[in-house]
Structure 1
Amino acid sequence: MRVLRLVLLCEFLFAGGQALADTCTLVTEFETGRVLKQEGNCKRRLNPASTFKVPLSLMGYDAGIFTGEDEPAWPYKPEYKTWNEAWKKTTTPRTWLKDSVLWYSLVLTGHLGQERFKRYVDAFDYGNHDVSGDKGKNNGLTRSWLSASSLQISPLEQIDFLSKLLKRELPVSARAQDMTLTIMPAFPLPDGWTAYGKTGTGFQPTRDGAFDRNRQFGWFVGWAQKGERKILFVRLIRDEKKEKGVASFRARDGLLADLPAILEP
């Protein structure tokens, strides 16, 4: 009977190909920190992927590299060698966040340089602070936040970072924080709520330090507000097998569908 119970438990945990223990949903009140919903493992760190565009935006505006919602407008160049046809166009800070354009991030970090980039990550107390990049490759400016690389953050730490941003407590200019909030993608919700958030997708690491293209992870991090009330949210999906669709889009769409019930008075 004990073996049977264990088998049934495993079947339940992996139902739909996704381990519930490796999926986190965390929703908290902004003002009080009161937890409205917490499920799964929210302490385990993983690469931030494109959610790192939020701190990158703060760096860009604070350093004066970004000057407006739509400036700089950097044109795509063939040497960027993007795989995504939708990214082969002139991009601005607003469209960079909306379309999650990787090459724009790399141009930005190139302007920042490794030393200044590292100083910002340390000042933000962001995750494990490790922007060294892939082991032995000295590519922290272009890879550290991506799949199976050095920079990692937990869902709980994502919430803490977002809370500091909304409270304007991060060690960058007020304008850098205001502009970053302004260009965040918006998602209308029922009953007068609006969500603002950033997705991030990657592949989970293997034991040898590479990444498994059959096992995605997907983030959706941000906040929602209605009038004076704000809540913070994170959903992180870790696929246990190859799944259809982009993991971060599944995280985003699932959480947006769940939020109205969570936010009921």
Structure 2
Amino acid sequence: MKSRTNEQPLHGQRLYRRRLLQLAGGAALLPAARLVQADDIARVAQRAETAAPVEAVRDDLMSHFRELDVDGCFAMLDVKANRLSLVNTPRAKTRMVPASTYKIPNSLIAFETGVVADPDQVQPYGGGKTRFPQWQRDMNLREAIAMSNVPVYQGVARRIGMQRMQTWVDRLDYGNRELGKQVDQFWLRGPLAISAVEQTRFLARLAQQQLPASRLSQQWVREILRNESGSDYALFAKTGWAMDAGLNHGWWVGWVERNGGVFTFALNMDLQREEFAPKRLTIARAMMVELGALPAQSGQARKTS
């Protein structure tokens, strides 16, 4: 299923926004059960105010995927220039299960709801056997996100609860916003899905601390996502691998801060073989070097998580 396009054309935008504000003004008269519609109105109004980025198709970079004989896509948003570089546009606009990249909003929601006090508070993994032995211990979110500890984050999600989780996913306007019935499975098996393009937009708001959440919570998420730093850049990122319910695709998403600019990115590719997993980072790095977001020596910089 392809991603929905929600931006309004620039022509007639002022009239459209005026009508939205009129509707929003009337929201105060609605019953409490219908107040969520006011949030929807505000969300659409925000989109109407933001000009859609200029798209630049870079299918010449598909050679990186062809070398492995795999299908994949890449999207990178230059926030300052409002320019969106796309590799394999149809796939980049197709929603897929976010897998462990959902640990990014999950962390933010945990901080905002108070389920997790701060990045250093130790969280239980729940006991029992896990897919990987290194997951079998309690740890804080700094460690849990670095080693992508699924049981720890499932426990966090259960303590948040479905109602609060749905409220926050709606508020963050994350992907298709569909959670289904299992609060600890929706990002691993579906129905939650998000496109690479939507990932870049969400991350742009997070990188600039523009999400509808406290600046402190957004700063904490930024801290635990930091991967490496160089003399003129910093890299914040998270991997994901959807391997349940017949799924088999991988993600690497995040952003680069360099020379006063912010570049958000999302790579998505098929992972038919386990040895392809590290290629998510290799391919995305190579593309960002070619697009000017990362210096050529970036992979040799000091690791920070």
Query: TM-score surpassing 0.5?
Result: yes
Pair 1:199 & 2:199 matched: no
Instruction: Please give the alpha-carbon distance, in whole angstroms, between the structure 1 residues aligned to 2:249 and 2:95.
Output: 12
Pair 1:144 & 2:186 matched: yes
SS of match in other structure, 2:77 = strand
Contact 2:74 2:86 in 1 (8 A): yes
Contact 1:97 1:185 in 2 (8 A): no
Contact 1:48 1:151 in 2 (8 A): yes
Counting only pairs closer than 5 Å after superposition, residues 19-168 of structure 1 correspond to structure 2 as 19=71, 23-35=72-84, 37-40=85-88, 41-71=91-121, 73-79=122-128, 81-132=129-180, 138-139=181-182, 141-147=183-189, 149-168=190-209
Call closer, same or farther: CA 1:228–1:16 in 2, change over 3 Å: closer
Call closer, same or farther: CA 1:175–1:69 in 2, change over 3 Å: same
Contact 1:221 1:234 in 2 (8 A): yes
SS of match in other structure, 2:283 = helix
Tell me the percent identity. Answer: 25
Q: Select the structure with the greater relative contact order (CA < 8 A; seq sep ≥ 6).
A: 1
Instruction: Please give the alpha-carbon distance, in whole angstroms, between the structure 2 residues aligned to 1:102 and 1:253.
Output: 24
Shift of 1:32: 2.8
Shift of 1:245: 2.0
Pair 1:17 & 2:69 matched: yes
Aligned partner letter, 2:224 = I
Instruction: Please give the alpha-carbon distance, in whole angstroms, between the structure 2 residues aligned to 1:29 and 1:14.
Output: 25
Shift of 1:173: 1.4
Aligned residue number for residue 135 of structure 1: none
Aligned residue number for residue 255 of structure 2: 223
Shift of 1:176: 1.1
Q: Residues 107-148 of structure 1: CA distance to partner in whole angstroms, max 9, x if unpaired? A: 11111111001100111111111000xxxxx32x0110113x
SS of match in other structure, 2:290 = helix
Aligned partner letter, 1:237 = M
Q: Residues 49-75 of structure 1: CA distance to partner in whole angstroms, max 9, x if unpaired? A: 00000000110111112222211x124
Instruction: Please give the alpha-carbon distance, in whole angstroms, between the structure 1 residues aligned to 2:283 and 2:212.
Output: 33
Aligned residue number for residue 222 of structure 2: 181
Unaligned runs of 5+ in 2: 1-64, 296-305
Aligned partner letter, 2:166 = K
Contact 1:201 1:246 in 2 (8 A): no
Unaligned runs of 5+ in 1: 1-12, 133-137, 205-209
Instruction: Please give the alpha-carbon distance, in whole angstroms, between the structure 2 residues aligned to 1:77 and 1:165.
Output: 30
Instruction: Please give the alpha-carbon distance, in whole angstroms, between the structure 2 residues aligned to 1:127 and 1:77.
Output: 29
- The two structures, once aligned, show a CA RMSD in angstroms of 2.2
Aligned partner letter, 1:194 = A
Instruction: Please give the alpha-carbon distance, in whole angstroms, between the structure 2 residues aligned to 1:70 and 1:161.
Output: 25
Instruction: Please give the alpha-carbon distance, in whole angstroms, between the structure 2 residues aligned to 1:261 and 1:32.
Output: 17
Contact 2:145 2:224 in 1 (8 A): yes
Aligned partner letter, 1:245 = E
Instruction: Please give the alpha-carbon distance, in whole angstroms, between the structure 2 residues aligned to 1:220 and 1:104.
Output: 20
Call closer, same or farther: CA 1:254–1:99 in 2, change over 3 Å: same
Aligned residue number for residue 245 of structure 1: 275
Aligned length: 228
Matching residue within 244, 256, 259 for 2:285: 256
Contact 1:218 1:246 in 2 (8 A): no
Shift of 1:24: 1.1
Residue range with higher mean Cα deviation, 179-188 or 85-94: 179-188
Contact 2:251 2:280 in 1 (8 A): yes
Shift of 1:177: 0.9
Call closer, same or farther: CA 1:181–1:152 in 2, change over 3 Å: same
Aligned residue number for residue 23 of structure 2: none
